[in-house]
Amino acid sequence: MTVKLLMFDLDGTLVDTSMDITNALNYALNFYGFKELTIGDTTKMVGEGITRLVEKLLGESKSRLMDAVIKRFLDYYSEHLTDYSTIYPGVSETLERLNGYRKAVISNKRESLSTRLLEELNLSKYFELVIGSDTAPKRKPSPVPVIYVVSKLGISPQESMMIGDSNYDIEAGKKAGVITVAVTYGYKEKEYLKDADYMIDEFNNLLGILDIH
C-alpha cells in the first residue's frame, strides 16, 4: 500500500471538542427555553456540521428559530473555541512521525473555526490544507470535500487515506475511492464504523497501518 496523502477529520478524531460545542449549544438554546444538553446528547448528533445539528435539535415545529440559534451558537463558540477542547492522546506525537506524508484536515466545522482551532492547539503546523463545511460545494458524507482535497494536492485517490471517527468520514472516503480508517475513541460507536477498511482504537495505531516502526 503506497499512501502519500493523509486526510483527517477534526472533531472526535484529532481533538475532543465536545464540551465547548455543548456549552455553545446550551447558550444558544437555553435562551429559547430548551432543556440543557449533556455532552452525551451532543456527541450522538455531531458530525454533519452545525446547521444540520441545530436542525435536528429544533425539529420542524421550531425551525423558524434556526438562523437566530445558529447566530447565538457561533457568537458564543467563536469566543470559547478552546476553553475545554483537548488534543486526543498520541495525536501530536504521531503527526510528528508522519512528516513524510502530505496531510490535510477535512472538517464539517466551518473553515475559519477549524483553522483557528488547529492554530490555538498548536496543530496547524502539521497540515498544508484545512477545509471546512463552507469550503467545497458539499460536506461529508458527500465525497466532494475528499475529491476537492485530492485534486487540489494532485494525489490520486488510490494513494490517499481518510481518517475519521464517524460514518460520515468513512462514507465520504469510500465514495471518493480512498482508503478509510476509523478511530473508535471518538464520538460514534463502533457499529457505525464497520465499513472502514481499517479500525484503530488509538491514534498512534495509524503508524502500524502505514508500516512505520
* Residue extent(s) of CATH 3.40.50.1000 domains in the chain: 5-16+86-209
List the catalytic residues.
9
Cell numbers that stand for 65 in this block: 428559530
Q: Report the pLDDT value the prediction gives residue 169, as an integer from 0 to 100.
A: 98
The set of residues, in sequence order, having a beta carbon less than 8 Å from that of 35 and lying 6+ positions away, is: none
Average pLDDT, stretch 61-88?
Answer: 96
Give bridge partners of residue 104 from the DSSP assignment. Answer: 7, 129
212: confidence class by pLDDT, cuts 50, 70, 90: very high
| Dihedral (CA of 201, 18, 91, 96) sign | positive
* pLDDT above 80 (res 9): yes
- For 143-178, what is each residue's pLDDT tens digit? 999 999 999 999 999 999 999 999 999 999 999 999
Q: Helix 18-30 and helix 66-79: axis angle, to 10°? A: 130
The confidence score (pLDDT) of residue 25 equals: 97
Tell me which residue of 131, 194, 193 sits closest to 164, measured CA to CA: 193
C-alpha–C-alpha distance, residues 14 and 86, integer Å: 9
Give the span between the Cα atoms of 189 and 195, in whole angstroms: 13
Q: In terms of CATH architecture, what is 5-16+86-209?
A: 3-Layer(aba) Sandwich (3.40)
Q: What is the CATH number of domain 18-79?
A: 1.10.150
Cell reading at 22? 455543548
> How large a percentage of the chain has pLDDT more than 70?
100
Q: Considering the chain, what is the average pLDDT of its residues?
A: 96
CATH 1.10.150 domain extents, the chain: 18-79
Express each pLDDT in 103-143 by its tens digit: 999 999 999 999 999 999 999 999 999 999 999 999 999 99
Rounded distance, CA 213 to CA 196, Å?
Answer: 23
Cβ pair 180, 169 in contact under 8 A = yes
Residue type, 207: L
Q: What is the pLDDT of residue 163?
A: 98
Identify the three-state secondary structure at position 142: coil
pLDDT digits 0-9 by tens, 177-211: 999 999 999 999 999 999 999 999 999 999 999 99
What's the pLDDT score for residue 213?
82
Q: How far apart are CA 129 and CA 138, in angstroms?
A: 17
- Report the phi/psi class of residue 191: left, alpha or beta, with left for phi > 0 and alpha for psi in -120 to 50: alpha
